[in-house]
Structure 1
Amino acid sequence: MTNKRIRLRIPKDYHQEPVISKLVSDYGLVVNITAAILGANAVGDGWFDLELQGTDAQIQSGLNYLKELSLQIWDETNTSNW
């Protein structure tokens, strides 16, 4: 099992989509939300710090899914101001 920490921006257009839930159900990942910012009444974009746990293949598939949605993703390699 591998752990990967990411920061994810989910635009308000996706608030009704089960983005994080799909990481669990479709890709078999264990997802721990370590921090989150979401405006009152879900107005505006949401920011989530996630810890993903799974095999390397599961994590890569989950990240590919997020990229297909054109979501902004930061990880340890590109988080100088994280």
Structure 2
Amino acid sequence: MASDNTLIHKRIRVRIPKDYHQEPVISRLVSDYGLIVNITAAILGANAVGDGWFDLELQGTKEQIQNGLTYLHDLELEVWDDTKIANW
């Protein structure tokens, strides 16, 4: 069984609505939750007029990742994890 400080990886896809474009959502995953975030793909509308989709690889402890995911859910963002999207 992994210790509490073991770093794990989690792949997610998150939709950032246009209303959140001025909010540092991904930056807060790093600064507030201590996660390492790698953006592996992104789709943004021209001049950021539409929703954005980000494929992210999160690295952190199990607790850090859970807290970061809770933050995204508290913002009511659509989040898919790697168990739901195998072919992305």
Q: Pick the TM interval, shorter chain.
A: over 0.9
The residue number in structure 1 matching 2:10 is 4
Q: Which ranges in structure 2 are unaligned for 5 or more consecutive residues?
A: 1-6
TM (norm. structure 2) is 0.89
Cα distance in 1 for partners of 2:87, 2:9 equals: 21
1:58 Cα deviation after fit? 0.1
Cα RMSD between the aligned structures? 1.0
Q: Which ranges in structure 1 are unaligned for 5 or more consecutive residues?
A: none
Larger Rg: 2
One-letter amino acid of the counterpart of residue 20, structure 1:
I
Cα distance in 1 for partners of 2:85, 2:36 equals: 22
TM (norm. structure 1) is 0.96
Cα distance in 1 for partners of 2:35, 2:85 equals: 22
- The structure in which a higher percent of residues are helix is 1
Task: Spell out the pairing of 1:1-80 with structure 2 (5 A cutoff).
Answer: 1-79=7-85
Cα distance in 1 for partners of 2:40, 2:22 equals: 21
1:80 Cα deviation after fit? 5.3
Q: What percent of counterpart residues are identical?
A: 77
One-letter amino acid of the counterpart of residue 64, structure 1:
T
- Matched residue of 1:74: which SS? strand
Cα distance in 1 for partners of 2:87, 2:74 equals: 25
